[in-house]
Structure 1
């Protein structure tokens, strides 16, 4: 079963829950990979949680509140980023995804990244490193190391990674890592595009 969870305010993600007949029968990463081959990116769960049985209410319906929250974290064992480019990209991954740290081999999608977070990450990388990566770059190089290699060895943070967001007559300074879609798209369009079915 797949539901939309909002474990952090404003951060709604699809999470899948699977039961298994025998211990180790379900591989969460493999299941996500299979779904990614058949579904558009925005429909692939950010995480898959394996549980013994689906919790039910007294009425026999799925008890959404009893489903455990997924754990997002290191997916390949932590290896620290090296060099200014890798460190900057890892820092952006961590800020956007709400993680303490991100290693060079960790996959953005395995860490819980989705299409909206991907847009924020690429916007922050392009601004901070003065680059011009398309969002689809994350599909081909989803790790800190992979993106850093696409950017090149000379990728370094700019001295002043700030943007100016203008709403009406009130310009405000914005840090690249704080970019959100609502700075570029009107609220009605964003609400329609970002609507996920609730529990």
Structure 2
């Protein structure tokens, strides 16, 4: 697990994100410059993060988490109201990356299923 110097959350959105990452990744501490995937995040845990953020009222897509891999970057992208920011320099017609709607099939109600499946897979690997 790769860590940067610990910088604690500085605003409510960063506090929310750091708390979700701690819970999902089973960590005691997450700084705003820590990279989700370097901390042990993977595709399944990223879906769990998205489901928790949506349950908290933040409409975040999977591609956004992949583009903004630190608490600070994702907090800036989603803002205090949960409105996702457009990447700087990206135009509406830009088709270089995946369409966010491709990942919009999971809702907050899927959290229990993901938790159960992730828990079973984790137990089987131990």
Interval containing the TM-score (normalised by the shorter chain): 0.5 to 0.7
Gaps of 5+ in 2: 83-107
User: 2:44 is matched with which residue: 105, 116, 123?
Assistant: 116
Distance 2:4 2:29 in 1: 13
Does the 8 Å CA contact 2:12/2:80 hold for their aligned counterparts? Answer: no
TM-score, normalization by structure 1: 0.42
TM-score, normalization by structure 2: 0.65
Gaps of 5+ in 1: 1-71, 156-175
Does the 8 Å CA contact 2:25/2:41 hold for their aligned counterparts? Answer: yes
Distance change (3 Å), C-alpha of 1:77 and 1:180: farther
CA deviations on 1:107-132 (whole Å, 9 max, x unpaired) are 0000000000000001101111x121
The aligned residue for residue 113 of structure 2 is: 181
CA deviations on 1:168-198 (whole Å, 9 max, x unpaired) are xxxxxxxx7xx34347xxx9xx69xx7xxx7
Higher strand share: 1
Give 1:87 deviation, angstroms. Answer: 0.3
RMSD: 2.7
Does the 8 Å CA contact 2:44/2:114 hold for their aligned counterparts? Answer: no
Give 1:140 deviation, angstroms. Answer: 0.2
The aligned residue for residue 151 of structure 1 is: 78
Does the 8 Å CA contact 1:120/1:181 hold for their aligned counterparts? Answer: no
Distance 2:39 2:114 in 1: 23
- Number of matched pairs: 95
Higher helix share: 2
